[in-house]
Amino acid sequence: MHIINTTLATLATLKRIFAAPALLALVLSLAAPPGLQAGLAASLQAGRPAAGSGTPTLGVVQQWSLSSPEANILDEFGYAVAIDGNTAVIGARNADPNLGDGPIEDAGAAYVYVHNGKTWVLDAKLAAKNASEGDTFGVSVAISGNTIIVGATGVNLEDQDEEDGEVKDAGAAYVFTRSSGTWVQQVKLTASDRKEDDSFGSAVAIYKNTAVVASETKNFPPLIGVGAAYVFYNSGVKNWKQQAKLLPSDPFLGDYFGTSIAIHGDLIAVGATQFDPIEKSGTGKAFVYQRNGSLWKQEARLEAEDGRAGDAFGNSIAIYGRTVVVGAHHADPKLGGGRVTSAGEAYVFTDNGDKWEETAVLTAYAGLPFDQFGQAVDISGDTIVVGADGATQAGNSGAGAVYVFKKGNGTWNLQTRAVTDPVGENDLFGRSVAISGNWFVAGASGRDPGAKTRAGEAFLNLLGTVPVQLPATGFAPGQQTLLPAQPADLAYQSNGEMTLEIPTLGVNLAIAGVPKIDNGWDVRWLADQAGYLEGTAFPTWQGNSGLAGHAILADGKPGPFANLHSLNWGDRVIIHAWGQRYIYEVRENSMVPPDKVNVLRHEELSWVTLITCQGYDELSGKYRWRRIVRAVLIAIES
């Protein structure tokens, strides 16, 4: 690919309020200082992804975005996420569910989505049967097969020692099971030794018939804030019984044992972010427990070889097989120019058959202060996902990012970095992450969908088993192609009066939204429209907006993008929207193979990427190439 470098025009900070049919009003701040692109290019070459890893590949930013169908301010949808196979669960700890008598403030909710073979659809909304204000149901979620467990730290429970008494904020966890496609509450789990402010449900984990529930602020007087983890086993329908209560072998005040928990097979891993409060305050530890029959025994105590006070090692934890990943989101890694405050790290430990050893230390490839890399972690097979919810993007602190590492030849290598388009300050993308097979989900509990402050969103991504391709935007030239009826689930979204103009080509087209499916975008029915490729940045927003158009129409005649190849550096591309003209200038015109989806990579400025087909092969009936024209925003005119 040939890229023409040029000095980008300085873009002033823009504040816009969008309003269009089918779009909720949204306020967006965008800032892009001069020279930013060059700085980004340099940062990709510098930095330290992980020992032995190379420069990451930046691909499509997000593929599916999820938000609550009744989103409200401060819901924090995405505060917790979980996924297993084709089912994802999103927690919204401050949602106000309505069980028939009106909204219950901050009772919390969890939303279940399933993949129907083409896209992700809402399957169920979960809430506790006896929901009360301030329960924070959804503060933690986990799923295994047809069973979901949801934590609710604010639940008040009956006092077992005092008649008509109440134990405030003792907490609970709720188990739901799926039967004949319907999710029903099966049981409510509580601690056998419930006390006020236990925060039981602060973290949850489940593997088949075994569930683990953390109580990170559990007190054992005179020791305060020690924490505990409770193991429950289901020996039959609704027969969940407490099997064990886990504690560190040498508990101390302020350990916060149970800040994070994970389970796989007969192993449980527990994080304690403040362990060693006297010797090294806040260094943190992690503990591994092995089940033998119905008994659980501490097998290992894990700690960072380079651990320092305040690292919060154990803030997040994940386990797969005999590999444990531990996040330390306040660690200060050495990233070339000295230690970087709270950039964060994630540590990989492996059981070599004799003992558990630290085998890798993962960091962001261009970590900055307070990125909080390691805020969330998960692992599935040879893939690790790490959230950095404090990461700064395009000057927006706390926008967040998610990093994906793959293991090859014994080394964990950074494969890709995901961000949201557009980014906003305190989006907290990466606040929670989960992975199952080739799908990963990330929560962004600070995002403001529909201008609703911290209503939150979540994003699903597919990691490459289904080959994603750039859209096929041309038919056989000179002959008629009969098109089937357009399926309802592939219907295009109207964007009101938004249009695309390319003055040099005499093109002026309406822009329609094309939904994302597993292997790309189906644009066969675009005709004389331009297709916005959903999952890329929305047109005119900061980021990289993909717009596809036909080179050849179904009737065999030239389409609106037939002459895209003739555009030169400096030619104008204009998007008309909301009474304004967003003027872009061409910076690149090239041909790429159909699988070169990284042309849709995230950009810090506002870009459009125009896509069409070129090079029809009569033998295969397909186009060999995609013509790519990329242009950057230089001005906005009323």
- DSSP code string of 254-286: T--EEEEEEEETTEEEEEETT-STTTSTT--EE
Confidence band, pLDDT 50/70/90 cuts, at residue 465? low
- C-alpha 1/C-alpha 589 separation (Å) is 9
To the nearest 10°, the Cα dihedral for 95, 404, 383, 307? -90
If pLDDT is split at 50, 70 and 90, which confidence band does 558 have?
A: very high
- The overall average pLDDT reported for the chain is 86
- Quick: pLDDT tens for 581-597: 999 999 999 999 998 88
pLDDT (tens digit, 9 = 90+) per residue, 242-282? 999 999 877 777 788 999 999 999 999 999 998 764 455 56
* pLDDT bucket at 161, cuts 50 / 70 / 90: low
Domains, the chain, in order of start with CATH, read 64-462 (2.130.10.130), 488-637 (2.40.260.10)
Q: How far is CA 403 from CA 11, 57, 165, 375, in A?
A: 28, 11, 47, 11
pLDDT tens across 437-464, in order? 989 999 999 999 988 999 999 999 888 6
pLDDT surpasses 90 at 31: no
Cβ distance 294 to 328 under 8 Å? no
Between CA 277 and CA 328 the distance in angstroms is 16
Given this model, what pLDDT does residue 27 score?
A: 21
Residue of higher predicted confidence among 141 and 36: 141
- With a CB cutoff of 8 Å and minimum separation 6, the contacts of 581 are 574, 575, 636, 637, 638
**What is the pTM (predicted TM-score) of this model?**
0.79
Closest-CA residue to 475 (of 550, 528, 529, 564): 550
pLDDT for position 30? 23
Strands (E), 69-129: 77-84, 87-92, 109-115, 120-126
pLDDT of residue 624: 94
Cα end-to-end distance, the chain, whole Å = 35
The C-alpha atoms of residue 191 and residue 300 are separated, in whole angstroms, by 25
Model pLDDT, residue 56: 43
**Quick one: what percent of the chain has pLDDT higher than 90?**
68
